[in-house]
A and B are shown apart, each in its own frame.
Chain A
Amino acid sequence: MKTIIGLFEGLQARRHAALRTEVGELLTTFPKLARERRPRFISSFNSLHLCGLGPDEVQHSSILAWLIDENANHAHGNMFFKAFASIIGLKLDGEAEGYSVYAEFAGFESITDIVIFKAGDFYISIENKIKAGEGWEQLNREYRDCAAYAESLNIPTDRRIVVFLTPDGRQPITGNPKKWVRLSYPQIASAFNSVPYRETSQKLRFFVEDWTATIKNYIP
């Protein structure tokens, strides 16, 4: 019996020793592998995540408004606006210039996230929802504001567009779904990533890539 126990203990000790060696090797090799792999992590680096850009609608709306604004200092004129217009089904006559973009637009009944208009031509009202719910009668109020301002700017009724922008392009609750154009963040990401960037605009291209990657994160 003693011999059997002795044999068993010896076997167990050898097994533990082998396991310790294996674990030791793994612990030594793993950090080396991590170090070797580290340079490849640059591809998933996102400057906006680093800056703590979360699901704040006001911040995302101001980025979108900046990109759409032909007079903004991104030096790409109306390229982003053209891309945006195409995904919401707005046909643009000529060069689509001379339009105005307002973020956090205070109206008669509501605050609209983004308003884009050109007197006599078109009026676009964008409600951007990421995580927050809709306020009381929110979209109906924004719709009425859109109608009132568009009227005073002589916008034809078929060129007044209300857009409900969400991560997954969901249906609005407080507005008539037939009147609202549903738009998702991936649609924006796809349209903006296909904009022809100027050769000297690496910074802008990276910024837009990071931003579109960020907004994709909020898809439920």
Chain B
Amino acid sequence: MLTTETRLLIEHWPAVEEIIQTVDTLKTQLSELLSSLKDDLNKTDWWSEDWSFVRHTDEQVYIAHNTWRYNKSDYAVWIGIEQFVPSVLFGKAVFPQLYVWSSISDKQFIGKAREIFRSKKILGTVDEKKGSYIIKHFLPKILPGQSSECENIIRERIIQFFSYYSKEEKSISEIVTKQIKAQ
């Protein structure tokens, strides 16, 4: 019943437990890395008090502009990163983690938001599927030889994406304002 591989695990079980624990530690550190992005944003020339940094879950953070606020507690458009987990960052799982997304599930609004970017050469791609994603983009995979540069690569890419889409703040504000008035 037991195979060579599983018997090997049993023989080295203390090491196996250590690896499992270290994976959990890695997840925690990745989550901390996400939270620490706020410090990087503070260093950019466009970040101001008008922007909010939201830690949505352990694996997801997003930024939003105050003019994108609606229903008092929510933002109409999020610029964020999700599924920030080892299987996607270092493994074979495929997922475009960087996104521009709308919490307003109105087809017309999503269409207008996508239209802002459609004719431009942009970072990532305009999402054409049903749903509320406007833009999707991939983070580069981190392979075994890149563990030492990993943090820099990730940090740089996320900040680049956030900065790029923050420039569209006014165009997004315009459609959000119209949407709020129409409601």
Residues on A facing B (Cβ under 8 Å): 102-108, 111, 117, 119, 136, 145, 149, 152-154
Q: A103-B94, A106-B94 are known contacts. Are A117 and B139 too (CB-CB below 8 A)?
A: no
- Min Cβ gap A138→B in Å is 13
B140 CB within 8 Å of chain A: yes
- Min Cβ gap A157→B in Å is 15
- Residues of A near B143 (CB, < 8 A) are 117, 149, 152-153
A165 to B141 CA separation, bound complex (whole angstroms):
22
Given contacts A106-B140, A154-B145, 5 further A-B pairs with CB under 8 A are: A102-B141, A105-B141, A106-B96, A145-B140, A152-B149
- Residues of A near B141 (CB, < 8 A) are 102, 105-107
- Min Cβ gap A145→B in Å is 8
A111 touches B138 (CB 8 A): yes
Q: Give the top 10 A-B pairs by smallest Cβ distance, nearest first.
A: A106-B138, A152-B145, A153-B145, A104-B94, A108-B140, A152-B146, A107-B140, A106-B141, A102-B92, A106-B140
Total chain B interface residues with beta-carbon distance under 8 A: 14
Residue of A106, A108, A149 ringed by the most chain B CB atoms within 10 A: A106
B14 CB within 8 Å of chain A: no
A183 to B153 CA separation, bound complex (whole angstroms):
33
Residues on B facing A (Cβ under 8 Å): 92, 94, 96, 121, 138-141, 143-146, 149, 153
- Min Cβ gap B88→A in Å is 9
A119 touches B144 (CB 8 A): yes
B145 touches A106 (CB 8 A): no
- Min Cβ gap A71→B in Å is 10
- Residues of B near A105 (CB, < 8 A) are 141
- Residues of B near A117 (CB, < 8 A) are 143
A108 to B154 CA separation, bound complex (whole angstroms):
10
- Residues of A near B140 (CB, < 8 A) are 106-108, 145
A105 to B141 CA separation, bound complex (whole angstroms):
7
